[in-house]
A = this chain, B = another copy of it.
Amino acid sequence: MAQTPATPALGPAKALVCRECGASAALGPHYACEECFGPLEISYDFGDVTRAGIEAGPANIWRYRGLLPVPPNVIDTPNTEPGWTRLVRADHLAESLGIRTLWVKDDSGNPTHSFKDRVVGVALAAARELGFKVLACPSTGNLANAVAAAAARAGIRSAVFVPSNLEEQKIITTAVYGGTFVTVDGNYDDVNRLASEIAGEQDDWAFVNVNVRPYYAEGSKTLGYEIAEQLGWRLPDQIVIPVASGSQLTKIDKAFQEFIKLGLVEDKPYRVFGAQALGCSPIAAAFKAGHDVVRPVKPDTIAKSLAIGNPADGPYVLDVARRTGGAVEDVTDAEVVEGIQLLARTEGIFGETAGGVTVATLRKLVQTGLLDPDAETVIINSGDGLKTLNAVAPVARPSADIAPTLEAFRASGLA
């Protein structure tokens, strides 16, 4: 394993705890429980955390460093400084859907334009403290961009593995940062399996979403913290979150719970909704069937950043949705495209397919009565439409093509 200090300096993080059996382990480069092979999660001793202390921090995720498994001096080490993205009041979208108060948390404003910059930021900071030398991942796009950029900025090596058939534009947007970048002749499952095998051999490689996953996953908490702080230190009534592995949804819930326990926001009920594409909706299927377990599926959807057929956090997503009175819903690819267009046309935000899934799910939840249109609602746009242009290419067309004359313009009927 990596040369890990006996007592890693990871701020408020105190131990690793198994989410299944509750067994405890010392902080270190571990991700599976030695007792039951369940997933490990960080446990904390937060001490005194105040609104004023957070507000005095930088305009990025490190304002919450006292709530994350990172060294206290994380700010002094070169990193991409993700987070503190816009929370946009979306009155036009709300009006078109018949909702009273709606906000869009627009995470396309991150350095490589997706929420992955948050989780990679935390993974990088923890991995360095744990003694790893290389930042690695298997990916199909957003994560590859985020890892390659973060490693370049930090001045360390990256090693990114993607399927060979990845779109050309995602190849370019990863390769440009330098580092080791390997295309693998197989599908994402093949790449993921290979990454786990390599992690077992390369002692000092931190695969962010494999062997340092407990640290990595905590980065999504910052989405929840920011939403609460940007609302003026309070929780929304309802939130709709795109679901791939399900980690983002469970961590936003965790963030809300932590803020309540720390007294940073008032304790109040809130409902958490998950959004999936019908071509990969194993959690929505389980929710609707009343199951506790999630049956894996083979993905077939344009929402590739959500296309995880065997979601690691599936059961935990079901728990959160049921505990809070929310739901997990799914929408067709055609509805996803409509969702992207609706968000762009009403609010000027061009989201990626995952954003389209979330907007379309919001609409469906209103139509089916599962979401209260009179309660304050937040939705997440987790990535950027510039990375998934193919999804809207057939429908995003010019109004007219004319000759370069005033006569041609007049004749177009567009005056």
Contact = CB atoms under 8 A, between A and B. Distances in A.
Interface string A158-187: 010000100011011101111011111110
B175 A398 contact: yes
A201 interface: yes
B173 A404 contact: no
B393 A177 contact: no
Contact of A348 (B89, B177, B401): B177
A409 B198 contact: yes
Contacts of A234: none
A155 B92 contact: yes
A405 to B, nearest CB: 7
Contacts of A148: 348
Contact of A412 (B111, B112, B113, B182): B182
Interface stretch (A280-288, A311-319, A339-347): A339-347
A348 B149 contact: yes
Residue in A183, A190, A350, A401 with the greatest tally of chain B CB atoms within 10 Å: A350
A396 B182 contact: no
Interface stretch (A22-30, A294-302, A382-390): A382-390
A57 interface: no
Given A111-B109, A341-B176, A401-B182, A346 B152 contact: yes
A268 interface: no
A191 B404 CA distance: 7
Contacts of A182: 398-402, 409, 412, 414
A414 B183 CA distance: 12
A172 B113 contact: no
Contacts of A341: 176, 178
Contact of A111 (B172, B348, B397): B348
Interface in A129-166: 148-155, 159, 164
A386 B185 contact: no
A193 B389 contact: no
A398 B144 CA distance: 12
A346 B169 CA distance: 21
A51 to B, nearest CB: 17
Contacts of A152: 344-348
A78 interface: yes
Given A86-B111, A154-B348, A172-B389, 17 more contacts: A59-B84, A92-B153, A112-B350, A169-B386, A173-B350, A173-B385, A175-B396, A175-B397, A178-B345, A182-B400, A182-B409, A182-B414, A183-B402, A184-B402, A186-B403, A197-B406, A201-B415
Q: Closest 7 CB pairs between A and B?
A: A153-B348, A186-B404, A149-B348, A175-B396, A178-B345, A190-B404, A152-B348
